[in-house]
Amino acid sequence: MATESVRLTSSASSMSDYCNAMASGAADVDAPDDTESQEGSPTASEGPLRSLSGRLHWWSEILIVLGFYGVYTMIRNLFGSELGASVKQAAIDNAYDMIALERAVHLFGEKGIQDLFIEWDLFIQFWNIFYGFCHFAVTIGVMLLLYLRHPQRYGVQRTVLAFTTGLALIGFAFYPLMPPRLLNDCGPFGACDLKYSYVDTLVDPGGFWSFNSSAMMDISNQYAAMPSLHIAWAIWCVVAALPVLRRRWMRLALLSYPWLTLFAVMVTANHYWIDAVGGLLAVVIAYPLGVLLARRLPPWLAPRPVGPTASPARP
């Protein structure tokens, strides 16, 4: 037991180092947007008011993001795996359709990827933690980077992320999909189809959390697989942050992030290949919609620069 604890801690530490490096970019980005003008700098008399306004807007931005995520979670779970037999059967049927489609286009190879690595417990534990942690840590890190250093870019990219997530919600609501790891699972959410032999890696070898815990069962929708929001958010991180990164190693790390995420969702049997394609399409569709809407946002939703007043910049 002690050995397993040390191995799991080592895996978590390695994964955290990568995610923290991805999430922290303050020293590795270009200076704030070149379009920011010093002419609009606050005078001594208006400084306190502008400072107070900035602090209030900072809190409003937090409330907007948390409110959106709360609504997202509520809607996602409203159509989730807790609804019973009808949703479960639809998720099973859609999974079989997905497998048939992947076989038709010669993409059905998720099991082969997992089989190559499933005996390496420490390796699998690393990807379990990567799957659960980086999805949020890197996305939040990119949002903070843009808000603090490139606020004129932040408004558009925040709206693109919201549209991407909204499109995913539509998929979750109208296309419940059982992930590979549940096909041969005989628990309350599984298909118990023993001709498949995927391993739910969150159960074996395990990680810091599992969908089988009572808390996760209450707050998660295990059939929210199409499109893959892990892939969609990872691609958004690249689109949003790559133009402002200066150092080559940071750019390479960011470019590798969607590919690492793709490997994570495959080796843990959380998604099919076509789920990943769905995540890519969600970003492709959301981007022009987000750009269009962001330019028409009311003033109270538009992010304000941190520091000197900035003139509008390209997204």
Q: Is 157 exposed, middle or buried (0-12, 13-18, 19+ CB in 10 A)?
A: buried
Preceding peptide of 176 cis, ω within 30°: no
Q: pLDDT (tens digit, 9 = 90+) per residue, 167-203?
A: 999 999 899 999 999 999 998 889 999 999 999 998 8
Q: pLDDT (tens digit, 9 = 90+) per residue, 208-222?
A: 656 555 545 555 788
Q: pLDDT (tens digit, 9 = 90+) per residue, 131-171?
A: 999 999 999 999 999 999 998 899 899 999 999 999 999 99
Give the ranges where the chain is alpha helix by DSSP (H). Answer: 2-23, 47-78, 85-104, 110-117, 121-149, 151-174, 214-219, 229-241, 248-267, 273-294
Q: Is 248 domain-assigned?
A: yes
Q: Is 201 domain-assigned?
A: yes
End-to-end CA distance of the chain: 51
Q: Is 10 domain-assigned?
A: no
Closest CA to 250 of 65, 23, 12: 23
Residue located via tokens 């969702």: 265
Q: Is 109 domain-assigned?
A: yes
Integer Cα distance of 185 and 193 in angstroms: 7
Q: Is 184 domain-assigned?
A: yes
Integer Cα distance of 229 and 234 in angstroms: 8
Q: Is 72 domain-assigned?
A: yes
Q: pLDDT (tens digit, 9 = 90+) per residue, 232-290?
A: 999 999 999 999 999 999 999 999 999 999 999 999 999 999 999 999 999 999 999 99
Q: At 13, is the pLDDT very low, low, confident or very high (cuts 50, 70, 90)? A: low
pLDDT at 63: 75
Tokens of 236: 């958004």
Is 80 exceeded by the pLDDT of residue 207?
no
Q: Is 20 domain-assigned?
A: no
pLDDT at 44: 40
Domain boundaries, position 274: 49-301
Torsion of CA 228, 231, 236, 242, to 10 degrees: 180
Q: Is 173 domain-assigned?
A: yes
Give the CA distances from residue 186 to residues 39, 141, 279, in Å, rounded to whole numbers and listed in that order.
66, 38, 28
Tokens of 30: 């270009």
Closest CA to 128 of 234, 277, 270, 271: 270
Q: Which amino acid is at 214?
A: S
Integer Cα distance of 17 and 272 in angstroms: 28
Give the ranges where 220-272 is alpha helix by DSSP (H). Answer: 229-241, 248-267
Integer Cα distance of 83 and 106 in angstroms: 33
Ramachandran region, residue 207 (left: φ > 0; alpha: ψ -120 to 50; beta: rest): beta
Provide the domain count of the chain. 1
pLDDT at 35: 41
